[in-house]
Structures are given as structure tokens and as C-alpha cells.
Structure 1
Amino acid sequence: MKKFMSLMEKFLMPLAKAIGENKYLIAIRDGFLISTPMLIIGSTFLLIANFPIPIWNTWMTHLLGDDWATKMSMPASASFDVMTILAVVGIAYSLGRLLEIDAIAAGVMSLVLFFIVTPLTIDFTPEGTDKLYHVAGLPMQWMGSRGLFLGIIVALLGTRLFAIFVKKGWVIKMPAGVPPTVVKSFESLIPGFLVITIFFIISWLFSITPFGSVQEFIYQFLQYPLVKLGNTLGAMIVAYLFLHFFWFFGINGSSVVGAVFNPVLRALSLENLDAFKHGEKLPNIITGDFQDMFATFGGAGSTLSLIVVMLIVCKSQRTKKLSQLSLVPGIFGINEPIIFGLPIVLNPIILIPFVIVPTINIIITYFAMDWGLVPFTNGIQLPWTTPIIISGLLVSGWQGAVLQAILFVLGMFIYYPFIKVLDKQYLEEEKKANEKEDEDISFDDIDFESL
């Protein structure tokens, strides 16, 4: 066992460090976080428009009229339909800060670059005719999930090139006394011109290929295959095995694995959300909601099941107190107290259920949705702190809430024998500690008169 742990530590620690310190992956993660509040707000309005209780729609129709749901969905469309635009600005801004350049200029420039490589035309066929017209406009199909991967590439590559030119000193120097905002504006002029020229040439070259645009090329040869690969049970299991092994060694596995896997899950969620808004069949089983609401309850390892088992069966003071302190945070998905307090880190007794429980959750949920027992997740963005049952109801109907309850109880049964072994070990340690205290010499026991 020690040999295995040593080998895993030797392999995982450098990998986690390389991923965790990679500026581009950090920029992607933080860039998405910038847009997350808007997506949650938009999801709230969409949830109100599609609340999973039939009488709700009847009551709201009587109160607000027949088109109330369409109007209520407008904030959702204003955020989700332009998700890629938000991501481009957010990622470029985050990377600009990491590279220590003008982050706002990087964000604005990257948005311009994205529009340069996007065909700004809309296919339009007038009613009553068969003739297709290409009308100038903003093609919304590239502003949402379909354009997400190109948006990420543009933000990273454009910002990096911009930083290279700035740090080479290819800037216009302003005399002393000029306001800082004016100085920054002119410093961005030459680097921005060079980067925009490069992307213009790239866009023009792709326009004379059979693909017609960079957007179409990236979607067909990168985004579509990656999304299809990510939308598989095998990919999800492998990602979660790595995630939990990282946690076992004290590394935040959610951040390390999420930096690579979350953009794929985000694209899959957006596809489901778009279908949900239009009343169409949901296309994907694996999504961000699938991961957040069904793979784990209470944080990595689905440790909410472990905490409740500890509350019920454990006898050692250590586990009793820890479970009481960890329960409320665990309900809201925060499990650092149990990860580092039990601990789970470098604890081979708990490693097995810590990895097995989320894996079983993923497998059961996947097949429950594949067989039609539970609806696919609708893509609505909920805060990751949303408690179970409530989250299942909102993203997958009452069937999702029932499935969460079943998986939660199943996790308790899996954790039970392992935590009993650990609890017995802690009881013995506490007993020995108490016996040692009783054996310690006290000054009250010394007879000074006999000396």
C-alpha cells in the first residue's frame, strides 16, 4: 500500500502542480466565474418560467397573461444566448491580469477578434419563397454554445500575442503628465493593431477554404469531437477518478480536473438549455448539472452521506464532534472540514468509498437517464451550494429529487463499514490517551513530608 501511495504521489503531484499553476487554465476557470452570476440570474428567470409544478403555469397565466413565460425568459436569453461573448471577455481579462498587462484592453480586443473570425451574416429565406439570402447581422448560433471553443482559443491566443507585443516595447510612449487612461489607450494601439491584423489574415484565409470560416473549422474538428467524447460515461468516470485521487493527496481535484473538463461540460449544458428553452428534446445526459447535482452530494466523495453515517453510528469523540461541525457546511456542498479533519487526505481506509461512491452515483444516474427513468438535466445554472432534493427537483423534476435521495442513502451504506473501522481505531486511540493521562504523575500525589 505504501508503495502504491508513493507511486501515485510521484505521478499525481507534478501533474496537479503543472495544471494548477498553468496560467491559461486558470484564466479559463476564472473567466467562466466572471460570467457565472449573470448565468445564475438568467437561470432564475428561466426557472420561474418553467417551474416543475403544473399548477404554477396555470396560476401565472391567470395573473400575467398567456405570454408571461416568453417574457420571463428574456433575461435568460440575454445571458445564455451570448455566453461565448461573456466568456471571451472574461477569459481575456483574467489572462491579461495574470500576464500583467492592461486586462480591460485585452478583454475588449479579444471581443473584436472574436467578431473578426465569426461570419457576421444570417441565412434568411423570406416567407413564401425558396430563395436564400445572406443578411448582415449577428449570428446567434455562434454566440452561444457552438462558438464557445473558438471563443476560448481567441481569448487565450489574442491576449498572449497582445502581451508579447506590449512587453517587446512596441508601444507609443506618451510624455510625462498625460493622464494614465490616455497612456494606456495609446500603449494598446500598436499591439492591438498587429494582433487584429493577424486575426484578419487568418479569417480571410479560412474564408477561401471549403469551411468558409474559422468558426466552422473549429466546431467540426475540435469542439464537436471533444463534446461528443465528453458526453460519454467513460470520460466522466475517468475524470472523477483523477479528481478524487487528487483530493486524496490534499490537492483540490475539482479545480485541477475542472480546468480541463468544465469547458466541455459547459458546452453540453448550454446545448440542453437551448433545447429546454425551445421545448425541444434534450440532447445530452452528461452536463455540468449532471456533475454538480448527481455525482457528489456535499462535495467531493459525496461526503454528505459519510457525515450523516458518522452522526448516527460513530462513538469516538473525534468523529462525533467533527460530524456535528461538518453537517451544515456539507448540506451546502462545502466539505473541507471533513476532508482535512477526519482526515480523508492520505487516509487509505476512507479512500475506497471516497472514490467508489461518486463513481456509482455517476453510473446509476447515467443509466437512469438513458433508460428514461429520470429526465435529462435541463441546463439551468444553479449555485453549486444548492442542497440535494431541491437541486434534483429544479434540474430534473421530481424524478431527479427521488434519485438523489436513493443515491444519498446508498452512499451511506457504502461508507458505513469503512467509517466503523476508522471509528474503532479512534476509540482505541482515545482510550489509550485517557489511560496515559490517568498514569501521569500529579504533584498532588507526592508526599513531601516523607522526603
Structure 2
Amino acid sequence: MMDKLEKVLMPMAEAIGRNKYLIAIRDGFLVSTPLLIVGSIFLLLANFPIQAWADFIANVQIGSSNLASLLSKQSDATFTIMAIFATMGIGYSFAKQLKTSGIFGAAVSLMAWFILMPYSITGSISAMFDANGAAMEVVEGAKATVTGVDLGWLGAKGIFMGIICALVSVHVYAWVEKKGWVIKMPAGVPPTVVQSFAALIPAGIVMTLFFVINTIFVACGTDAFTFIFTFLQTPLLGLGDTLGAMVIAYIFLHLFWFFGVNGGSVVGAVFNPILQTLALENLNLYREVGVQGYTVANGAHIISQQFQDLFATWGGCGSTLSLLIAMLLFCKSKRITELGKLALIPGFFGINEPIVFGLPIVLNPSIIIPFVLVPTINIVVSYAAMAVGLFPPCNGINIPWTMPIFFSGLLATNWVGAVFQVVMLIVGVFIYMPFIKSMDKQYLADEAAAAQAEEEEDDINLDDLSFDDL
């Protein structure tokens, strides 16, 4: 069975790991990660679930604003415009994959994205105003269209459009450049000037192409953003926002790890854009309705990037923090106990390579069952607990995956979610226990045999000594 799985999974992992498009998407999202983490700190300060703190920052007046609104502005400068960071990062990364200029790849990606973006906003109005800003009459149910950019397109709603624009625009840019359709400057011209003129024709062709695409959509009475959001992004998010999709993705992720392939990189290249978009929608809802109104019934997604990072596993892939605790509590062999002591502190912060490769878990059939089973149980039980309202779904705040258990649950949900993490960690310990004790028994036998062999080598038989050779 292992041979058959290897024949199926290894070519799949190799194909995904070498795919330039998926690599660009994966690496492009990393551009926004440090900004989102710092923005999350300010967002936590602005929405910390203690009423006394909320009242304090609401009453501290600084100029024409209060401290609460000033703290929230940092999240507007990060989460609200996340699609810009993603588009720029993917364009830069994909340009590097295609061996062309990264900075111009990021630039043409943003240019193409903004060409297709609609510049009109239609919404309801409640009153008509005169030139001085005074209300003249109340108008119920009326609609008005103004020129501007819908901030929704700069955030979660525009991410998939940004991915498409980055990949297509950079691909066209690199193709034109490789055809040699560039302006070449004479020797002695500064390199920056050479690069600028060399990018002129490729960028012009990209602009023309997206002008044509935008014109076609406008002629059809719509725009590219609305079309992609309706017919691609919404169905994909609906598919990804299911328990079945999460379970299947994590089974494959752990099977890849079993064969020594970084499953997070392989599966994440495909699944993480969906999870990150769902997380951003959660964050927007959380900011809109607050702690009390943030529920599944109001539209919060259970499946998200934070759900994956904070409730699927603890201590890294396989939820190996449970395994580490089982190793230290129930095992006696030096190999396992010494490894457990060395790996425990990194394990609390989600770093488990010492266990994966040192125990080992890779290509070890005796541990594959709990290695896949524990994360699966974590996902199913956590999903059920959030669905029934035991504690709310993750609020979308970008908490680093290295945040230790309990604290991560407290920040992402509430104290019930934090306690729930600990309970599921303990459940994982007892699932791992019989499997690691079986390995421990074998290692004890190996250590005893090695000690016996060493003792026999050290024994000296005086009957074998002879002075005849002196």
C-alpha cells in the first residue's frame, strides 16, 4: 500500500512543487504576512474583549478622533488593502520565476488590476443635500452612483482577480521581452534608464491587452471584477469553506509529509489562497459587528487560515505536540526520551522537524495512523464545536502559527476556545500513546541488545591469553 501511495503522491508533489504559477501564488502572499501580523496587533488593541479597555480607548480624544479609531486605522492600511499586496507580491514572484524584472512584474500586475477595476460605486441614499451640506429632503430607497473605488475590491473580494491579473500580465510581459521587442539603449547609459526603456514596449502591450479586455466587459454591461467574483471566487470559496474540503486537504498534506515532502508547501500552494480570503472576510465581519455579533449565523466562516493554523494541529504537522507529551510521559527508551526533551520547546512553537525526521515519522508505517488521524479528529471536533456555538469561529486576526497553544486560541476566539485547544491536545496524547509505546518497546529491545553486545566486547577471557608469541 505504501508503494502504491508513493507512486501516486510523489509525482503529484513534484508537479506541484515545480509549478511556477503555484510557487508565485504561494510566495506572493508572503509579502503581506509581516504587515498583516503587525496590523493584527493594533486590531487586537482596538477590539480587546474587555469592556473597561473598550470604554477607555473610546473616551480618549486626540484632536477630532478618539484612540479607538486611530488604532483601527492600522488595520485599514493592511487588511483592507490586502489584495494590493497580494497582486504586487505575486507579480514580483512570478516575474522572478520567468527570469525577468521583479519590480516591473509587480508594476504591470497592479496596472492591469486597476485597468479592470470598476471606478463607480452604487449605493442607497437616505437624504438629498444642498451645496452647503444641509439635508433638503429624505429619499427612501433611492440609489446613487458616484465615481470612486469600492474598498471591497481592494480586500477579500479582489484577491482572485489580483491573482489572475498578476499571472497573465507578467506572462505577457516576459513573452514580449523574450521576443526581443524592447528598446535597446547605447552603451554608457545608466542601468536604471536601460531597464526603464526596455520595459516600455512590453508594458505597453500589457496595457493594450487589458484595455481590450476591459472594453469587452464594459460592452457586455458588466466588469471583470464582478464577473470573476460571481462565477469563480464565490464558488471556490463555497467549496473551500466545507469540512470535507479541509479534511481531504489535510489527509493529503500529511501523506506528503510521511514521504518526506513538505506537505504544507504542496497543499498550501493550492488551498491557502482560499483560506486567506475566507479569513479576510471573517475579519471584515468581525470589525463590522463586533465580538457579540460575530457568529456563524451572521456569516462567519468556520474554515479559514486561522482555523488551519490554530485548531487543526498543535506543534506542527501531525499535531506532534501531543506526540511529544506522550513520549515524555509514557516512554522509557533513551532514544525517545532524549529526543522528546530536545524537541519539546520548539514543539510548543510549532517547529517539529526534529520529531518528523528524528523519531522518525517519515517512512515509518508504525506511526502513520495517528499522524493522520489526530489532525483529522482535531478538524472535525473543532468544526463541530464552532458550528454549535461552543465558541466563535476564528476572528480573522492574523496570529502567527508559532503562537503557543492556549494563547492562540484565546486571541483568535475566546477563553473557551483556548481551553478547548488544551482538551484536544490531551485527547491527541492518548491517541498517540499506544503507537509510541509500541515503538518504545522496540527501541528498548534495541538498546538492550546494543548494551549486551558492547558488554561482550569488553569482556576479556584470560584462557585466550598466550605468552608463546612473546
Q: Secondary structure at the match of 2:384?
A: helix
Match of 1:362 among 374, 379, 383: 379
Displacement of 1:92 in angstroms is 0.3
Query: Which residue of structure 2 aligns with residue 115 of structure 1?
Result: 114
Query: Which residue of structure 2 aligns with residue 237 of structure 1?
Result: 247
- The one-letter amino acid of 2:29's match is F
Match of 2:218 among 207, 215, 232: 207
1:405 pairs with 2:458: no
- The separation in 2 between residues aligned to 1:443 and 1:383, in whole angstroms, is 59
Displacement of 1:60 in angstroms is 4.0
| Higher Rg | 2
Query: Which residue of structure 1 aligns with residue 85 of structure 2?
Result: 86
Displacement of 1:101 in angstroms is 0.5
Query: Which residue of structure 2 aligns with residue 17 of structure 1?
Result: 14
Displacement of 1:127 in angstroms is 3.8
Cα distance 1:18–1:440, how it changes in 2: closer, same or farther (>3 A)? same
Match of 1:246 among 240, 246, 256: 256
Displacement of 1:444 in angstroms is 9.4
Is contact 2:60–2:66 with CA below 8 Å preserved after alignment?
A: no
Displacement of 1:222 in angstroms is 0.7
Displacement of 1:70 in angstroms is 2.2
Identity of aligned residues (%): 52
Query: Which residue of structure 1 aligns with residue 352 of structure 2?
Result: 335
- The separation in 1 between residues aligned to 2:124 and 2:422, in whole angstroms, is 50
1:267 pairs with 2:250: no
1:240-268 Cα deviation digits (max 9, x unpaired): 00000000000000010000000000110
Q: Secondary structure at the match of 1:449?
A: coil
Query: Which residue of structure 1 aligns with residue 321 of structure 2?
Result: 304
1:323 pairs with 2:340: yes
- The separation in 2 between residues aligned to 1:311 and 1:444, in whole angstroms, is 41
TM-score w.r.t. length of structure 2: 0.92
Displacement of 1:203 in angstroms is 1.0
Query: Which residue of structure 2 aligns with residue 8 of structure 1?
Result: 5
- The one-letter amino acid of 2:9's match is L
Specify every segment of 5 or more residues in structure 1 that has no aligned partner in the other structure, as ranges. Answer: none
- The one-letter amino acid of 1:386's match is M
- The separation in 2 between residues aligned to 1:186 and 1:442, in whole angstroms, is 82
Displacement of 1:443 in angstroms is 7.9
Displacement of 1:376 in angstroms is 1.1
- The separation in 2 between residues aligned to 1:64 and 1:351, in whole angstroms, is 58
- The separation in 2 between residues aligned to 1:72 and 1:137, in whole angstroms, is 25
- The separation in 1 between residues aligned to 2:60 and 2:145, in whole angstroms, is 42
Match of 1:391 among 408, 414, 417: 408
- The separation in 1 between residues aligned to 2:9 and 2:228, in whole angstroms, is 31
Q: Secondary structure at the match of 2:414?
A: helix
Is contact 2:109–2:170 with CA below 8 Å preserved after alignment?
A: yes
Query: Which residue of structure 2 aligns with residue 49 of structure 1?
Result: 46
- The one-letter amino acid of 1:183's match is V
Cα distance 1:22–1:444, how it changes in 2: closer, same or farther (>3 A)? farther
Is contact 2:57–2:66 with CA below 8 Å preserved after alignment?
A: no
1:204-259 Cα deviation digits (max 9, x unpaired): 1011225x011111111110000000000000000000000000000000010000
Match of 2:143 among 126, 132, 139: 132
Specify every segment of 5 or more residues in structure 2 that has no aligned partner in the other structure, as ranges. Answer: 128-138
TM-score w.r.t. length of structure 1: 0.96
Q: In terms of mean alpha carbon deviation, does 423-432 or 62-71 score higher? A: 62-71
Displacement of 1:61 in angstroms is 4.4
